[in-house]
Amino acid sequence: MSGGTRQILSAHIAHNTREDEPNAPPIEILNKVDNDPAPPWEFWYTNQMYHGPGVPLPDGSKMKGCDCVGKCDPRSKTCQCVARQRVFFDGTDDHGLGFIYDKQRRLRPLLAGYAIWECNDLCGCDEDCMNRVVQRGRTVQVSIQKTENKGWGVFAGPKKIPRGTFLGVYAGEILNEEDSHVRGQVYEKWGRTYLFDIDFYYLERLEKKEPVYTVDAYHAGNFTRFLNHSCDPNAKLYACYINESYIAKPLLVVFSLRDIEPHEEICFSYTGIYPGEEDDDDRDAEAPAIKRAEWKKCYCGSANCCGEWIRCVLKLERG
């Protein structure tokens, strides 16, 4: 791999994201560890989701939008988007906050963990509405850097990232259970995987059993595919619905769990378990995790490191 690969990959990233996040700071690729100029260029860089065989496309005929003029009022009694979000608050929205975001477009701490329902293409509100965050794209600076013993990772830029800030969509292909199983067996032979099941707590509560879909970021994805595991993570995966009416297919989106210091590595939990949340209610107890796994030595270096993290094995029970 020549030194020009870094520049070509950087240009590829900028070109492929110029429309869906035109205001996003450029992503720098750095390596102070060895001579590799860039990560293996084995994927198509995108923020979009590709639907695999047998996975239904979004059905716009079943979507509903609000009739708000200007920006949505989170205390509105008539905004359909406010009403839809409150359904997923399980009665915790006692103060009439309405949306899961605050005025700075960050996740409200008390409401973080619930599914996010943003305004969509059918809504009458402005593009600057406070309930349009994920769809506006990344606003913080990040870099992709080589680490000493964890391969490539993602790091914050020169500015602190506040708690509750949107970082990126875990983009890639949406697969059905059969295809994710087949791919998982292949990835196991390679010793790595980018498969994450869409299995949030509220999907398990549904009276009608819905299929479990999986996001695969191996062939297509963005910088989030380089996020490493930590036993003390500073970021987390959440469910987000925008132009999707099918409850089983939310976007997997990454938000900061706490303030992230300048140049700090950004990590989430591959196990789906987060410190301090083990005894909380269902919405916080578990987030999407790498598909079926066995334990492997952990190099996160956190004070509460368990010593091991999961490596995908993907031995799904059959009948």
DSSP 174-212: EE-HHHHHHHHHHHHHHT---EEE---HHHHT-SSPPP-
- Which range, of 45-54, 126-135, 197-206, averages the lowest pLDDT? 197-206
Of 218, 102, 252, nearest in space to 164 by CA: 102
Contact at 8 Å (CB) between 252 and 196?
A: yes
pLDDT exceeds 90 at position 251: yes
Q: What pLDDT, on the 0 to 100 scale, is given for residue 191?
A: 76
Of 156, 176, 181, nearest in space to 167 by CA: 156
Residue that is written with structure tokens 């549904």 in the block: 206
Q: What pLDDT, on the 0 to 100 scale, is given for residue 271?
A: 78
- Which range, of 29-38, 80-89, 248-257, 282-291, averages the lowest pLDDT? 282-291
pLDDT exceeds 60 at position 316: no
Q: What pLDDT, on the 0 to 100 scale, is given for residue 279?
A: 46
- Residue pLDDT, tens place only, 154-205: 999 999 999 999 999 999 999 999 999 999 999 888 877 899 999 888 887 7
d(CA 179, CA 40) in angstroms, rounded, equals: 24
Mean model confidence pLDDT for the chain: 85
- Residue pLDDT, tens place only, 61-98: 999 999 999 999 999 999 999 999 888 765 555 555 68
The domain locations on the chain are: 4-60+132-312
Count of residues making up the chain: 319
> Residue 14: which H helix or E strand, with range?
helix 4-16
Contact at 8 Å (CB) between 222 and 47?
A: yes
The torsion of the CA quartet 235, 238, 240, 246, rounded to 10 degrees, works out to 150
d(CA 249, CA 211) in angstroms, rounded, equals: 9
DSSP 290-315: BSSEEEEE-----TT--SEEEEE---
Q: What pLDDT, on the 0 to 100 scale, is given for residue 193?
A: 85
Q: What pLDDT, on the 0 to 100 scale, is given for residue 296?
A: 63
Write out the CATH class of domain 4-60+132-312.
mainly beta
Q: Which residue has the higher pLDDT, 226 or 187?
A: 226
Q: Which residue has the higher pLDDT, 56 or 92?
A: 56
- Residue pLDDT, tens place only, 272-315: 777 765 444 554 445 665 554 455 667 666 766 766 655 443 33
Contact at 8 Å (CB) between 226 and 179?
A: no
d(CA 291, CA 129) in angstroms, rounded, equals: 36
Q: What pLDDT, on the 0 to 100 scale, is given for residue 307?
A: 63
How many CA atoms within 13 Å lie on the side-chain side of 316?
A: 15
Percent of the chain, pLDDT > 70? 82
The residues, ordered by sequence, that sit 6+ positions from 63 with a Cβ below 8 Å of its Cβ are 120, 121, 122, 243, 244, 245
Q: What's the rounded mean pLDDT across residues 117-141? A: 97
Give the tokens for residue 159. Answer: 């500015």
> Residue 30: which H helix or E strand, with range?
strand 28-30
| pTM for the whole structure | 0.88
Of 129, 60, 80, nearest in space to 101 by CA: 129
Give the tokens for residue 237. Answer: 């995966």
pLDDT exceeds 50 at position 214: yes
